[in-house]
Structures are given as structure tokens and as C-alpha cells.
Amino acid sequence: MTTANFPLPIPNLDNQVFWDNCREHRLVLRRCNDCQESFHPPKPTCPLCSSENLEWVASEGKGKVYTYTITRQPVNPAFRERLPWGIVDVELTEGVHMISNLVDLDPEQIEIGMDVEVVFERVSEEITLPKFRAV
Amino acid sequence: MNTLKDRCAIVGVGETKYTRDSGRTELSMAVEAAKNAIADAGLTTADIDGMVRFTADSTSHSELAAGLGIPWLRYYSELGPLGGAACGLVAQAALAVSHGMANNVLVFRSVNGRSGQRYGSGVVTTRRGQKGSAFTEPYGLLVPGQSSALRIRRHMHEFGTTVRQLGAVCVTFRKHACMNPRAIMHGRPITLEDYETSKMFFDPLRIFDCALEADGACAFVVSSAEAAADMKQPPVLISNATQCMPAEQGRSERGWDDSGGARMAPELFGGAGITPQDIDVIGFYDHFSPVIITKLEDYGFCPRGEGGPFVEEGRIEAGAELPVNTSGGHLSEAYMQGMNQIIEVVRQLRHRSYAQVEDAEFGLVDSGDGSGALVLRR
Ligand SMILES: [Zn+2]
């Protein structure tokens, strides 16, 4: 499956490290050394305490489906060839949420609370997207 | 402390016809709606010395000033993002009037939202993979309805909210549209069965759960309460206006349970000197049906998780205890980005709605996902 017709991420200086790691099949999160919380997407300062004292930490890559939706109509040309299209909000064990897709699963099988783990899908030379699969 | 209470009024309202294909420019519709609002107030274009607009609108201040034959404006301002600006613009107009920067401020919105660029297709909202959208759009999260579906699916999981309760919202607003000849869906009632067999778009949202994209324009005039007392219409006072801009979520991607409405409610009602129980009629920004359920909770009309049963029991219908979107709202009148809700609540408070709430005295209106809100008073 390719996502060529959906917009591809345009990395910037705040998140380039995230995408570089994805290319190496590693999921990383921003963590604040002052309040000890992880967050996502990456930002230049902590959204909870505004600290600039941040580091990149490896995520376990495991979580649960927090919520989901299935797109069933080609509301946008990008969907024409790929309906039904499932989108999930995954809550990682680190407490952060990520919008993603589940691979190797009929969208009709998606359920809230389902255990998932990260997999990586190369979509271009530069970009590899973190996705998830049911475990 | 917010001291806007009852210092300004909405003195005139105007609309064009709402259609699916206007065959006109947005500028030409803006001029018509503005002239209607000015005439409704008993004013002339020469009285308008201020203007506020949606940043998303294609019509500029200077174009509309020229269209109305107004040589220059003493006050002008605008507000984004996208659809959620209406109530915040009323706040800007009231701030300008209450501080003497203008006497009569025109608020307008004109959009070919059906025959032109459609919000529902995502062409207006996508950021093409830049900044935060790099983490959502590559996964196909491209149109606003998908986000609404993600939120209500979780609400269903936590509180047992059902699709029949979403259907109750849609059927109710369609019933209201059938009372309102201006509504695009006038004369086209639906049943819960029609709802349950309609096309699924963003599971669990069906076509009837989504705002009715439309062509049209809305405008109104904000003046001081003092001046309003001598004008043509019964004044509708701005008892309070509040705004809320939440920080982009960092830890949780979708902060649906931390809504603007819940944040604003204490200041909104407190500043107006009332409680939610004093509200007689509501105009909620219903871009998607689920927000009616969650907004009833956010603003304190029922406890968290009980919005579903609230709508299913018929309590938001015209004639019931708390009528919501009595013109049909965005779902069944027209998607005019919250402007038509303000106009309908003004009509209610003038006691001239097609679905009149008896003795209506206080009305609540909001914008977007709780980006701004007003308490209006007869
Ligand atoms: Zn921090």
C-alpha cells in the first residue's frame, strides 16, 4: 500500500530527528527533562512547562487504540482507490497520542482498546511513516 | 474582568437567499446581506463607520466599503481561523463600539461554500504536510468530519452515546428547517429511519451528520445599547462575549474533552449575570451533529456524558425546554459558519422566529469548537 496521494510530511528543524529515526525504524519522542513528560508531535519547547531542556527518547512503540474512524466515501480524490480507510488515534504506553493507520487489518476489525505496536512503512527516499499493527 | 455586559446591541440583521449554486460573486452577496442588515436597523450606509470580517472571507473591507458607497472606515478588523470567527467578531465590534472607535460596526460573511471551494473536501483546511499536519495528513486525516468522528467514537465508548442519539439531533434540526422557509432543507423532513439508512461518510458519521455546504451571505450591525434604544428594531443586547483559543495539543492529540465551551462557560455566564438555566434558546455551531451533544455538556446544560440522552428525549426541539438551532442550523438551514445561528437567535429575541420560543429573553450562541460565544438578551 502506498500513501503517495496523501500529503507527505515536510520535516522542519523541530522534527527532523523524528523522521531520521523513523527511516532507521526507531520511534522516538520528545521528553522534557524538567517536568519529565514526553510529548508528540515534536516541538522546540515543552508544551506543558515551556522548558527548552528536552531530549529525544526511544518509545517502546506499544499502545492501545484510543479512538478511530473509517472513511467510506471519496470526499477527497486521495481516497478514491483506498476505501474503506481506517484512521486510528493510538495512545502509547508513554501517555502520548499519535494519529496513524493499522496495517494488515481489515478496517472493520478495528476496536477501541486494541493492543498495537509500531511498524514502519517507507513511502519515499526521505520519509518512512510509523504505523501500527494489532498484537 | 470582562465589562462588556449590555453595553452594545445587535441592531440589524440581513441575509441573502441560501442556495447550492448562487451564480453570483461573494462580493455581490456580501453587499446584499449588508444592505439588508443596515436597512433592518433603520440606518443608512453612511452610518456604518466600522467593519469586521472573517480572515477566510474572499471579500476585503475596502471592497465591501466600495460596494456600499462608504468612502472610508474608522475601524476595521478581522478574525480567523476558518469558520470559527463569528462570535469573536461580535466581541471585536462590541469592543470598538464601547470604546468609541466606531458607532456602527458591520459584521459580515459571504461564501460560495457549495458551488465554490467546499470545506468538506479538505481543500480549504489542509496544510499539505507542513508543521503539525506532518503528523496527521500522511495518514489520511484530511477533512474536518474525520476529526469529529474520532471524537464522538471515543465519547460513545466512554459514555454509551449512540448513533440514534446523533440521528435525533439531525431529525430535530430538519424539523426546525421545515418550519423555516429560508432553510435549504425546507419541505424535506427526515425520519430516524431515513437517517439510519443514509450514506455513511466518516463512520460513525453519515451525510446527515455533516453541515450543509451552501452559498450565501450574512451580515449584522453592532451599535451601542444607548443608540439601539432609539432604533427601528427591539434591541438585542450583547450581554457577554468570550473567546477561547486552546493551545495545540502536545500530549494528547485530540483534546475533545477539554473544550472551549467548558473553558468559557464560567466567564460567559458569570459576566452576563446569569446561569445556564436562564438560557431560553441556543444557536450552536453545528458543523457536525456530535458537537450538539458535547456542547450541551460543555456549557453546563447537562452533566458530562449525558448529552446523548438529553437530545434523544426531545429536549432541544422547538416547543421543548431548551430549543437548539431553531432555524435548522448548519445541518439543515445552511452552513454559514455560525453567522446564521447569531441571526436566528436575534430573531428569537425579537420574538419573530418561525419556531418562536415563548417569551425568549436570553440566548446563547457559539462558534467553531467553542472558539467564541455570546449571551444575547432581549
Ligand atoms: Zn516540561
Q: Is residue A108 part of a domain?
A: yes
The b/e string for B66-101 (b: 16+ C-beta within 10 A; e otherwise) is ebbebeebebbbbbeebbbbbbbbbbbbbbbbbeeb
ipTM of the complex, rounded to two decimals: 0.96
Q: Which residues of chain B lie closer than 8 angstroms to A38, CB-CB?
A: 251
User: Cβ separation of B140 and A7 shorter than 8 Å?
Assistant: no
Q: Is residue A5 part of a domain?
A: no
Q: Residue B95: give its domain's CATH number.
A: 3.40.47.10
Number of domains chain A contains? 1
Q: How far is A2 from chain B (nearest CA, A)?
A: 10
B→A contacts (Cβ < 8 Å), by residue, are 120-123, 126-143, 145-146, 149-151, 153-154, 157, 199-205, 247-254
- Least Cα distance to B136 among A27, A84, A3, A74 occurs for A3
Q: Which residues of chain A lie closer than 8 angstroms to B131, CB-CB?
A: 12
pLDDT digits (tens, 9 = 90+) for B100-129: 999 999 999 999 999 998 877 776 667 777
The one catalytic residue among B18, B76, B195, B285: B285
Q: How far is A96 from chain B (nearest CA, A)?
A: 5
In this predicted structure, the answer to whether residue A1 has a pLDDT above a threshold of 70 is no
Nearest CA in chain B to A73: B201
pLDDT digits (tens, 9 = 90+) for A78-104: 888 899 999 999 999 999 999 999 999
Q: Is residue B166 part of a domain?
A: no
Q: Is residue A38 part of a domain?
A: yes
Q: Is residue B130 part of a domain?
A: no
Say how many C-beta atoms besides its own lie within 10 A of residue A133's C-beta. 13
- Which strands make up the sheet holding A54-58, listed edge to edge? A38-39, A28-32, A54-58
Residue B184 one-letter amino acid: I
Global pTM reads 0.95
Residue-by-residue pLDDT tens, chain B, 378 positions: 788 999 999 999 999 999 999 999 999 999 999 999 999 999 999 999 999 999 999 999 999 999 999 999 999 999 998 889 999 999 999 999 999 999 999 999 999 999 998 877 776 667 777 888 899 999 999 999 999 999 999 999 999 999 999 999 999 999 999 999 999 999 999 999 999 999 999 999 999 999 999 999 999 999 999 999 999 999 999 999 999 988 776 545 445 556 889 999 999 999 999 999 999 999 999 999 999 999 999 999 999 999 999 999 999 999 999 999 999 999 999 999 999 999 999 999 999 999 999 999 999 999 998 899 999 999
Q: Is residue B193 part of a domain?
A: no
Domain of A128? 16-134
Ion ligand 1: residues, CB within 5 A, are: A 32, 34-35, 46, 48-49, 51
pLDDT at B258: 64
pLDDT at A81: 87
Q: Is residue A1 part of a domain?
A: no
- Least Cα distance to A25 among A132, A133, A118 occurs for A118
Distance CA(B82)–CA(B93), nearest Å, equals 19
Q: Is residue B157 part of a domain?
A: no
Domain of B58? 8-116+211-377
Number of domains chain B contains? 1
Q: Is residue B31 part of a domain?
A: yes
Q: How many CB pairs under 8 A join A and B?
A: 135
Q: Is residue A4 part of a domain?
A: no
Residue with cell 457549495: B114
- In this prediction, residue A3 has a pLDDT band, given cuts at 50, 70 and 90, of very low
The C-alpha cell that represents B322 in the structure block: 431548551
pLDDT digits (tens, 9 = 90+) for A16-42: 999 999 999 999 999 999 999 999 999
- Burial of residue A100 (CB within 10 Å: 0-12, 13-18, 19+) is buried
The one catalytic residue among B18, B76, B299, B335: B335
